Structure 1
Amino acid sequence: MNKQTPFSVCGESLSAPMHICGFFDSREQQYDVIIPYILEGLDANDKVINILEGNRHGEHCRCLADNGISITEKLVSGQLEVLASENTYIEGGKFAADKMYAMLENTLLSASRAGYESVRACGDMVWALKNLPGTDELLEYEAKLNLLTPQHAVSLICMYDINSFSQNTLTDILLTHPYVIKDGKISKNQHYVEPLELLSSISNSRSGALKS
């Protein structure tokens, strides 16, 4: 396990590595949580990565700038990256769990080589609502992140709009995150399932479906 590094979210002091699902019912609630998290990271010289739909980048950067972040400076230095879902999660018009896992792993290794002691990442998962090929690998991907995060000083917040995703999907997503943000508060997730156990269950379910 990588060394633990401090960070705070929702007013709580925590330690990375940590994989968190954020359930939000509005854009405002989402930003109330992630803006202080991002600001703290930039002040602490953490690497900060935001992934969201490309058509939201202008709004997102304006929101960061309105909160005192020197966008151009941070982007040029490489400390802050604002990436598009279209170039990451669903590059080429499809999702592939192993490919995205490898992309994130390489990003974390690059951040470490660049001298960053910790990484903070927020990913808006709205891309999964497009039902592009491979979207059914989302649960597998989220589970595998719990094998990746302990190897790095990283905190990941996967952001889900509770008004857009089905209750069944949100219930499944809960299985893959040790911590959950809901109603602006973070807590240990009682529904979390260890990744190897969950991945085995997913594999068995797929095998059963193929046989039937």
Structure 2
Amino acid sequence: MAHPTTVDHLLPGDHVCWTFDDHERHLSALVRFLRGGLARGEQVLYLTDTFLPDAFLAAAQAYGVEVREPERTGQLQVTTAEKSYLAGGAFDAERALDGWRAAIARARGQGYSALRVAADMGWTVRATPGVERLAWYEAQANRIFAGGYVMALCCYDRRLFTSAELDHISAAHPATARAGAGAHEEWAPMLRVRRDCEGLRLAGAADRSNSEALASVLHDLVADARFLPDGAAPLVVDLAELTFADTGIARLLASAAAAAPGRLVLRGARPALAELLAVIDPARAHAACATRSQA
């Protein structure tokens, strides 16, 4: 399973598929995640399917984390899948996404520095109406999390899923912490996606393993770019910190720019990506090599 210390490296805006196969180490990771959020003045939500809420809180207390006062004030909230994802008896992906928007608004309104969420996803293997849209939901959630206020740790017990299922799910996350991650060397999210008023910033590496996550955010960006008023500065996809992109990602980026010509531009591509873009879309290759300051 992923090492518990991997959760220490998450930042607001990260959305990670975190796999485990041992409940004790899973508990250790969750407690680390909780402790870090409380210490930073973040609101912490844990949507459990592995532990009963009271049992988890007692265990966290035994690990040395004071949970009673944060629970009283609402800084810490622990609930079950049945009362969150499955409220109403089925999984409604759109309702779940709206729920995250509402949770962000509440946390911001209450003055929390960020919203930190851990979610056990074991409930998805049960015969639940709507669960077939899980991968779509995970991909769409990136459009919300990329705003940089929420960090989300989606916990998947790999004993419950096939390798193919986990591959499908992980592609909807910018980063995945699989078995062995962090055990021998420091782990960091593979890709960080951040959306701001100027456009989108990508940092890390992008390939088939996280392509669905990136595609969702780019789709959102294209839609916004098309509605820019005439004469407005274009939205920018900043590629300066994107250290690797495979051919599929290069095509995805080129298609996004082509879908909103003049309103969405690629900037700061490193040489290898610039060469791919030059082959795929020569008309935009020069702009893609420029930095924001040069544009």
Q: Tell me the TM-score normalised to structure 1 length.
A: 0.83
Which letter maps to 2:46? Answer: N
Deviations along 1:17-74, whole A, 9 cap, x unmatched?
1100101011122123222121011111110000013862122111111122222211
Provide the C-alpha distance between the structure 1 equivalents of 2:52 and 2:15, rounded to a whole number of angstroms. 24
Any gaps of 5 or more consecutive residues in structure 1?
Answer: 1-7, 201-212
> Which residue does 1:135 correspond to in 2?
131
Which letter maps to 1:95? Answer: F
Change (3 A) 1:11 1:174: closer
Q: Tell me the TM-score normalised to structure 2 length.
A: 0.61
Report how far residue 101 of structure 1 moved: 0.6
> Which residue does 2:190 correspond to in 1?
188
Report how far residue 87 of structure 1 moved: 1.1
> Which residue does 1:34 correspond to in 2?
30
In the alignment, is residue 44 of structure 1 matched against residue 40 of structure 2?
yes
Q: CA RMSD in A?
A: 2.3
Looking at secondary structure, tell me which structure has more helix per residue. 1
Kept in 2: contact 1:24–1:160 (CA 8 A)? yes
Report how far residue 83 of structure 1 moved: 1.4
Report how far residue 197 of structure 1 moved: 3.4
Which letter maps to 2:90? Answer: K
Provide the C-alpha distance between the structure 1 equivalents of 2:215 and 2:7, rounded to a whole number of angstroms. 32
> Which residue does 1:173 correspond to in 2?
169
Kept in 1: contact 2:14–2:145 (CA 8 A)? yes
Change (3 A) 1:161 1:59: same
Change (3 A) 1:11 1:19: closer
- The number of equivalent residue pairs is 193
In the alignment, is residue 83 of structure 1 matched against residue 79 of structure 2?
yes
Match of 2:155 among 153, 159, 182: 159
Provide the C-alpha distance between the structure 1 equivalents of 2:6 and 2:129, rounded to a whole number of angstroms. 34
Percent of residue pairs bearing the same amino acid type: 24
Match of 2:100 among 88, 101, 104: 104
> Which residue does 2:215 correspond to in 1?
197
Q: Which runs of 4+ in 1 moved over 4 A?
A: none
Which letter maps to 1:19? Answer: H
Kept in 1: contact 2:49–2:121 (CA 8 A)? no
Report how far residue 11 of structure 1 moved: 6.8
> Which residue does 1:205 correspond to in 2?
none
Provide the C-alpha distance between the structure 2 equivalents of 1:50 and 1:163, rounded to a whole number of angstroms. 21
Pick the structure with greater CA Rg. Answer: 2
Provide the C-alpha distance between the structure 2 equivalents of 1:61 and 1:117, rounded to a whole number of angstroms. 23
